[in-house]
Amino acid sequence: QVQPVESGGDLVEAGGSLRLSCAGPDLTYGIVPMAWYRQAPGKQRELVAGISSGGNTNYADSVKGRFTISRDNGKNTVYLQMNNLKPEDTARYYCKPVTSPIWGQGTQVTVSS
């Protein structure tokens, strides 16, 4: 496996929560900076959240306070906990190492109003 595998997307009501998972191909996913991105129809792909090897995090202003990025280095997995979802969060979500050029298929998050 050379691509990340994102999962956990679903159709949810506004105000609901989801947890996305990103499984990496090898143990490097436990030691390199990782990030979640999203792309909505008609919009550019944007950074949602990032996490360093040491656990420092950063978030887009639009999701700060609602989303939490975390990682389980032993499982080569990164998570995105999404709370208080809004219709504006509807997008396909992707995860990868910050410096990697390889994108996975992403996982669709759709938030109904």
| Sites in the chain below the pLDDT cut of 70 | 1
CA distance 82 to 101: 25
Q: Which two tokens stand for residue 76?
A: 């080569």
Angle at 42 between CA 36 and CA 45, to 5 degrees: 20
Do 71 and 77 form a contact (C-beta atoms < 8 A)? yes
- pLDDT at site 76: 86
- pLDDT at site 95: 96
CA distance 14 to 26: 35
Q: Which two tokens stand for residue 15?
A: 């105000």
Do 77 and 24 form a contact (C-beta atoms < 8 A)? yes
Grouping H, G, I as helix, E, B as strand and the rest as coil, residue 98 is: coil
- pLDDT at site 45: 97
Contacts 24+ apart (CB under 8 A), 59-68: 62/88, 63/89
